[in-house]
A and B are shown apart, each in its own frame.
Chain A
Amino acid sequence: MNIIVCIKQVPETTEVKINPETNTLIREGVKSIVNPFDVYAVEEAVRLKEKFGGKATVVTMGPPQAEAILREAISVGIDEGILLSDRAFAGSDTWATSYTLSAAIKKIGSFDLIICGKQASDGDTAQVGPGISAHLDIPQVTYVKKIEEIKNNIARVERMTEEGFEIIEVPLPALITVVKEINTPRLPSLKGMMRAKQAKITHWKAQDIEAQAENLGLTGSPTQVVKIFTPAPRAGGQVLKGETHEIAEKLAEILKPELN
């Protein structure tokens, strides 16, 4: 079973600073880590590889220093890392990012499953995973909390919803995005860290993945960030007091006009 995991390097802090002029993240002086949700994607890929055999490849798009997170993935059992790094990729939105990643996946060739974290902790869009599946024209299941079974080229997975979960069967090849409930990621082993240190990371530029220049980076991004701001905190709200039935009546009175 061949698995591809897409991961992203993000700033460690959750309180990211935004450059007010360009509306982009200020990355300087902030430690970079693997996007926390992607750690679960990597762990799931390693577990599937251990169970079914095959190869697990990890891909990231980012600046040259993003190589570090590929090595981190290798240290816990991923076989190979591919870094997509090119000035032409700079400024990509989720559309251009998923286009670029899908072009790299086409170049990798055959695969059974693509795994992504449910979203990145910096952008929080949750769009890149689904975007890749659209570009590749393969089925997707988002928010997967368990892979129950993979048999006869069909994966049966549990998809988390707000009320509970759905059981979905999906033909392979497919893309899933995973939530943190899916597993407990392992720590690296010393031998894994040594292997990761010596591993040769493949570097691909735009021309290596045969990507259309007009679809890349800022040019290829239909999204324009107009403004990033912290929303004003919500106003105080209203506390109802009294006996339970009185509160219920008052609440109903308040809600009635809102329903119409």
Chain B
Amino acid sequence: MDYLLTDEQKMIQELACKIAVEKIRPVAAKYDQTEDYPWEIIKILAQSDLFAIFVPAEYGGTGGGIMDLCITTEELSRACGGIAVCYAASALGTFPIILFGNDEQKKKYLPDLASGAKVAAFGITEPEAGSDASAIKTTAKKVGDHYILNGLKHFITNGGDAETYVVIAMTDKTKGARGASAFIVEKGTPGFTFGKKEEKLGIRASSTRELVFTDCKIPKENLLAKEGMGFIVTMKTFDMSRPGVAAQALGIAQGALDVAVKYAKERQQFGKSISSFQGIQWMLADMATQIEASRALIYSCARAIDAGCKDVGTSSAMAKMYASDVAMKVTTDAIQILGGYGYMKDYPVEKYMRDAKITQIYEGTNQIQRNIIALDLIRQAAKIK
């Protein structure tokens, strides 16, 4: 299907695809096994200006938008969902600064993030605050010209490897969700350390660590927006970043389908290739159609965000939820088409399935996405009455 990409978007797609095929695909299995952070690929992405595409031009970016980020994430995920999320999670950590940073904060942090000299991360999740983000226990206490951070974040993608962190902490516990604030914290700040690196089912090339704050003193200039804006920052950031997660799921699904089609043509049973059997053909047709439907949903949502549309929460929730459910189904079916070979690590489809699972969970579980969609439906219905 032709999505009428601009010349620049076609260029981004071509470049990301080239990197995925030539540089990422050959090392995807290695990083899946070792769980090392893929610095060699991060460097290539940085040199190719791919960290610049979602940053405004005046801060060292190319001034692209969410659509550009989605195209890139999709292409990278076709080769490896784990390496792609190292990239996309940096975008997640960069968005709050783009959206809510003042000019000084943008000047200080964005150029290094746009060039890829530094990687970013976003930290909200805590052991007891997952879907219920209002249960956050990390605190930020204002003392003179500083804030003192105490608490623990966990499951933080790029944790430990990123240099620039945006962290949500409570400045006023009595106000509940309205007492949360967002802060920029740099790696190396005294009192800011990292906990254990998690061992994961999938996206194993990406790092996931705890962020530990023990009387961590940061200058008051590191507050993003105003005190009490922490959840607004988070929600607006997720509205921007969800299409990126959806694009990751899309790329994983497309990658699995690519392998399944190739295999179905090559695999001979009963004297002919299995792609000649209607049972296989119908599976492939369903997979391809579901993938194309995800793509159409993601691209239209991304374009709406880039065009400045206000109420993107529901469509970005739909895109993330649908694309990740499709990714889980398509990758499972891809294994089925490859049969016993698909279950073995010699073929990449079992990895696609392991990588797909997280897309149904992070940046809001698909159940939370359905809550967002349903609430909006009910709200709209109330207006009509």
Contact = CB atoms under 8 A, between A and B. Distances in A.
Interface of A: 186-194, 197
A46 to B, nearest CB: 12
14 contacts: A187-B18, A187-B22, A187-B48, A188-B15, A189-B47, A190-B11, A190-B15, A190-B48, A190-B52, A190-B53, A190-B62, A192-B49, A193-B11, A197-B11
Given A190-B50, A197-B11, 16 more contacts: A187-B18, A187-B22, A187-B48, A188-B15, A188-B48, A189-B47, A189-B48, A189-B49, A190-B49, A190-B52, A190-B62, A191-B49, A193-B14, A193-B15, A194-B8, A194-B11
A187 B11 contact: no
A106 to B, nearest CB: 36
A186 B45 CA distance: 11
B12 A190 contact: yes
B8 A187 contact: no
- Nearest 3 A/B pairs, CB to CB: A190-B49, A189-B49, A193-B11
Interface string B5-49: 001100110110011001100000000000000000000100111
A197 to B, nearest CB: 7
User: Per DSSP, are chain A's interface residues mostly helix, strand or loop, or mixed?
Assistant: helix
Contacts of A194: 8, 11, 62
Interface of B: 7-8, 11-12, 14-15, 18-19, 22-23, 44, 47-50, 52-53, 62
A189 B18 CA distance: 11
Contact of A191 (B14, B19, B44, B62): B62
Nearest to B16: A190
Contacts of B11: 190, 193-194, 197
A192 to B, nearest CB: 8
Contacts of B47: 186-187, 189
A191 B48 CA distance: 8
A187 B7 contact: no
A188 B7 CA distance: 16
Nearest to A192: B49
A187 B20 CA distance: 12
A73 B285 CA distance: 40
Contacts of B19: 187
Nearest to B52: A190
A188 B50 CA distance: 11
A188 B15 CA distance: 8
B50 A187 contact: no
A197 B48 contact: no
Contacts of A191: 49, 52, 62
A187 to B, nearest CB: 6
A197 B12 CA distance: 13
A189 B53 CA distance: 11
Nearest to B49: A190
A83 to B, nearest CB: 21
A187 B41 CA distance: 12
Contacts of A192: 49
Contacts of B52: 190-191
A17 B47 CA distance: 38
Nearest to A193: B11
A187 B15 contact: yes
Contacts of A186: 47
Contacts of B8: 194
B122 to A, nearest CB: 24
B63 to A, nearest CB: 11
Contacts of B14: 193
A210 B124 CA distance: 69
A239 to B, nearest CB: 34
Nearest to A190: B49
A189 B12 CA distance: 9
Contacts of B50: 190
A158 to B, nearest CB: 26
Contacts of A187: 15, 18-19, 22-23, 44, 47-48
Nearest to B12: A190
B60 to A, nearest CB: 11
Contacts of A190: 11-12, 15, 48-50, 52-53, 62
Contacts of A189: 47-49
Contacts of A197: 7, 11
A160 to B, nearest CB: 25
A121 B11 CA distance: 27
A11 B294 CA distance: 37
**Interface hub of B11, B19, B44 (most chain A Cβ within 10 A):** B11
Contacts of B22: 187
Contacts of B15: 187-188, 190, 193
B277 to A, nearest CB: 33
Contacts of B44: 187
A194 B8 CA distance: 8
A185 B216 CA distance: 44
A137 to B, nearest CB: 39
Nearest to B68: A190
A188 B52 CA distance: 14
Most buried by A among B23, B47, B48: B48
A190 to B, nearest CB: 4
A253 B37 CA distance: 60
A191 B7 CA distance: 13
Nearest to B50: A190
Nearest to B48: A189
A128 B18 CA distance: 31
A258 B149 CA distance: 86
